[in-house]
Amino acid sequence: MPAFLSRLRGEIIENAPLGAQSWFACGGAADVVFRPADIEDLQNFLTRWPHEEPLAVLGGLANIIIRDGGIRGAVIQPGKAMGTVEVLDGVYVRAGAGALNGTVAAAAMKAGIGGLEFLSGIPGTVGGALRMNAGAYGSEIKDILTGAYALDRAGQDYRWTTYDMPMSYRHTHVPDDTIFTGALFKGTAETYETVRARMDEIKARRNDTQPIREKTGGSTFANPSSEALKKSGLPESTRAWQVVEMVGGRGLRIGGAQMSEQHCNFMINTGNATAGDLEMLGEELRARALDLFGLDLHWEIKRVGAQL
């Protein structure tokens, strides 16, 4: 381990079992995980971490398969120390990248700020939500984002506005080495009761339709573009779960990995899955979709690390 790491204020964990800590609860370890004490600590890390060594950034591990061979190099994980949430001027919420989406939604609700309710049901952190342009029930991060704070791999800080950071369906177009450190969201002034009622409704809908108590990573595949659907001869309204259903994916199992019976675009670890099982199951479905419809299904779940 490089000597400079011991001079940082944040938490450093060697051979960190990130796979076991992920929502899928399987997969390998990371050589080093660094949870910075604050942005200055993170900048100190970035200016010293050798350029030739691999570096990744992860958040709440809710949208990720960590392959069984683990992650080489270092993983930055903005945790609780970078998780402050503040309400400003009655309609803004400023949150650190390590804040949980649920905490942001709860702070907005308490202050009677509407528009952020959808975040309440999306597991993970603000950093991951920014990177993924996370969304649910017709709203997404791009609708509430005023600005995002970030560092590049050299520790240089940036402030992105929604004009220079294009966001599309489950994707934010920024350089690969972008490390989000926080965000400023804007909602609308409403009453606590109205916001609370919408959050309760979202909770009930999720409980009814998604396997939220399973070891899962949310939607496995992104909904195909209407262009891709047109080429494959499928109706333009076809959603990813319908493609999974049509290729015989509902309940399909490989090893300990299974496509949920309840929501067939959700992949689950039934107990003893390896990351390899999960990835193989996803690739089997992609192969079937390509074979049957000429449709290239895109993973929404990210995969990192080395295969065994």
283 is known as an active-site residue: no
CA 107 to each of CA 50, 92, 181, 203: distance values in angstroms, whole numbers, following the listed order? 39, 11, 19, 16
Q: In 3D, which of 182, 170, 178 has the Cα closest to residue 217?
A: 170
Determine the Cα–Cα distance for residues 182 and 137; give it in Å rounded to an integer. Answer: 23
> Given 219, 260, 279, 288, which residue is catalytic?
219
- For residue 228, give the amino acid letter: A
Nearest distance from C-beta of residue 90 to ligand FAD, angstroms: 26
Give yes or no for a contact between 179 and 42, defined as CB atoms under 8 angstroms apart: yes
Whichever of 123 and 249 has its CB closer to ligand FAD, that residue is: 123
Determine the Cα–Cα distance for residues 207 and 204; give it in Å rounded to an integer. Answer: 5
Tell me the three state secondary structure of residue 279: helix
Whichever of 55 and 243 has its CB closer to ligand FAD, that residue is: 55
Nearest distance from C-beta of residue 191 to ligand FAD, angstroms: 25
Nearest distance from C-beta of residue 74 to ligand FAD, angstroms: 13
Nearest distance from C-beta of residue 219 to ligand FAD, angstroms: 6
Backbone angles phi, psi at 80, to 5 degrees: -55, -35
300 is known as an active-site residue: yes
Tell me the three state secondary structure of residue 38: coil
Neighbours of 271 (CB within 10 A): 10
170 is known as an active-site residue: yes
Determine the Cα–Cα distance for residues 112 and 117; give it in Å rounded to an integer. Answer: 11
Whichever of 81 and 212 has its CB closer to ligand FAD, that residue is: 212
Backbone angles phi, psi at 63, to 5 degrees: -135, 35
Residue numbers of the site for ligand FAD (CB under 6 A)? 23, 57-64, 78, 97, 122-125, 127-129, 131-132, 134-136, 178-180, 210, 212, 216-218, 302
Give yes or no for a contact between 28 and 275, defined as CB atoms under 8 angstroms apart: yes
Whichever of 33 and 112 has its CB closer to ligand FAD, that residue is: 33
Nearest distance from C-beta of residue 196 to ligand FAD, angstroms: 20
Query: What dihedral angle (degrees, nearest 10) is formed by the CA atoms of 290, 303, 168, 164?
Result: -140
Whichever of 112 and 305 has its CB closer to ligand FAD, that residue is: 305
Determine the Cα–Cα distance for residues 298 and 222; give it in Å rounded to an integer. Answer: 6
Nearest distance from C-beta of residue 3 to ligand FAD, angstroms: 26
> Given 35, 67, 94, 170, which residue is catalytic?
170
Longest dimension (CA), the chain: 59
Whichever of 132 and 167 has its CB closer to ligand FAD, that residue is: 132
Q: Which residues are catalytic?
A: 170, 219, 300
